[in-house]
């Protein structure tokens, strides 16, 4: 694979020296001619000081994504070492009776653009950038080395591919075709996962630890799970002894899988109510009172110019939820929008509480599960934040 040189503008080397993995077009002075999207690039300051090696895509807003800040070869051994280190970390911290987890978390595992999730005997890989896509065959070979009995399925169909100038790519990379639903185990609970057509790679693995928090809080409570998807929080609440769990989800296939997940865990239908409708409509119309409401919406904000409308959306659903809670009620609310910072999210909930004229206090703040690590030099990687609030 060809390697070209990239020279930064005067004074633009500081973020790279601070090991931030992204270089935007405004920081670049010049790049050697003859390059193609996905080529490796050696990055230098305007004083010809070597800064590291990354890969290049002039079609992307992020022109260079750094792979290393050392002068090392980018080859099969490089990717093998990164994957081995990621696997060792997961083995060290994996909770018992759990066979679904994130193996590679892009910048968090120092492989920008690559995501790999493990679901039982299947790996699901996302190659979201031109640079990481160029190494697909090498990465698959490395994964096969550490997971020889697993099948590998590609789900490279996110908007990131479009922004990188890549077409969607979905299908088997190694092994067998996945079934309609793979059954996984998480903290001893069973869930069906559609890795071919489900949201993201099929399941929200990043919420594993927050789901366990819900199980510990649910005994005797009436629980409302909004944006329930396939009922992850709902099953945990029911297993935690909730008196009733109402799950609101607009997707018919997700509702069907959610009902099946209750069956998988020997939970009776009397414990679970499913409402297939829009969450905003449900919250405005319902007259029921709940002891705990969970709000885990999809990302409302996918770019900087969407921050204000997204903030209004987050405020609206949290305002409606706060109105439904009695004194002592719990609101477990989340944002997975990376552009909504933890500080901004807390201010949004402050505004919702103020408009609802309720006294609210934060009992706990939550973030990603351990298998979604955040690169300390890449704060943009902290996309998920949660607030467990009590209404007084």
Question: Active-site residues: which are they?
Answer: 336
The number of angstroms, rounded, from the C-alpha of 341 to the middle of its chain's C-alpha atoms is: 15
Residues 6+ apart with CB under 8 A from 136: 127, 173
Q: In whole angstroms, how large is the CA radius of gyration of the chain?
A: 22
Burial class (CB in 10 A: 0-12, 13-18, 19+), 68: middle
CA–CA dist 270, 255 (Å, integer): 16
Sole residue written with tokens 């909004």: 226
Phi, psi at 150, each rounded to 5°:
-95, 150
Nearest Cα to Cα of residue 99 among 119, 125, 85, 122: 119
Nearest Cα to Cα of residue 57 among 163, 138, 139, 159: 163
Write out the H or E segment, with its range, that includes residue 80: helix 76-93
Judge contact between 117 and 124, C-beta under 8 A: yes
The backbone region for 77, taken as left when phi is positive above 0, alpha when psi lies in -120 to 50, beta otherwise, is: alpha
CA–CA dist 152, 85 (Å, integer): 19
The backbone region for 276, taken as left when phi is positive above 0, alpha when psi lies in -120 to 50, beta otherwise, is: beta
Strand partners, 190: 185
Sole residue written with tokens 């690039």: 41
């Amino acid at each position: 694979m060809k390697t070209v040189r990239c020279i930064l503008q005067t004074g633009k080397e500081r973020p790279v020296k601070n090991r931030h993995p992204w270089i935007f077009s405004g920081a670049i002075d010049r790049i050697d001619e003859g390059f193609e999207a996905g080529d490796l690039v050696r990055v230098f300051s305007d004083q010809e000081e070597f800064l590291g090696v990354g890969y290049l895509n002039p079609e992307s807003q992020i022109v260079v994504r750094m792979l290393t800040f050392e002068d090392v070869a980018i080859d099969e051994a490089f990717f093998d070492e990164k994957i081995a280190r990621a696997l060792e970390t997961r083995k060290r911290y994996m909770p018992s009776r759990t066979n679904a987890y994130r193996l590679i978390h892009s910048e968090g595992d120092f492989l920008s653009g690559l995501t790999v999730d493990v679901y039982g005997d299947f790996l699901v890989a996302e190659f979201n950038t031109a640079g990481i896509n160029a190494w697909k065959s090498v990465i698959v070979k490395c994964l096969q080395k550490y997971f020889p009995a697993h099948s590998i399925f590609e789900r490279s169909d996110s908007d990131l591919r479009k922004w990188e100038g890549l077409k969607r790519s979905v299908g088997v990379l190694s092994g067998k075709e996945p079934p309609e639903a793979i059954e996984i185990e998480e903290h001893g609970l069973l869930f069906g996962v559609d890795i071919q057509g489900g949201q993201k790679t099929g399941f929200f693995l990043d919420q594993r630890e927050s789901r366990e928090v819900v199980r510990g809080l649910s005994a005797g409570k009436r629980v409302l799970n909004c944006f329930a998807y396939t009922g992850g929080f709902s099953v945990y609440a029911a297993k935690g002894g909730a008196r009733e769990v109402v799950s609101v989800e607009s997707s018919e296939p997700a509702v069907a899988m959610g009902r099946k997940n209750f069956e998988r865990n020997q939970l009776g239908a009397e414990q679970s109510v499913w409402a297939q409708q829009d969450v905003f409509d449900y919250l405005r119309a319902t007259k029921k009172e709940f002891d705990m409401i969970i709000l885990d919406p999809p990302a409302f904000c996918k770019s900087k110019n969407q921050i204000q409308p997204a903030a209004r959306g987050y405020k609206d659903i949290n305002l409606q939820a706060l109105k439904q809670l009695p004194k002592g009620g719990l609101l477990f609310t989340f944002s997975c929008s990376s552009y909504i910072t933890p500080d901004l999210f807390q201010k949004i909930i402050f505004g919702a509480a103020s408009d609802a004229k309720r006294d609210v206090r934060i009992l706990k703040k939550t973030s990603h599960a351990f298998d979604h690590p955040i690169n300390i030099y890449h704060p943009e990687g902290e996309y998920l934040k949660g607030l467990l609030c009590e209404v007084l």
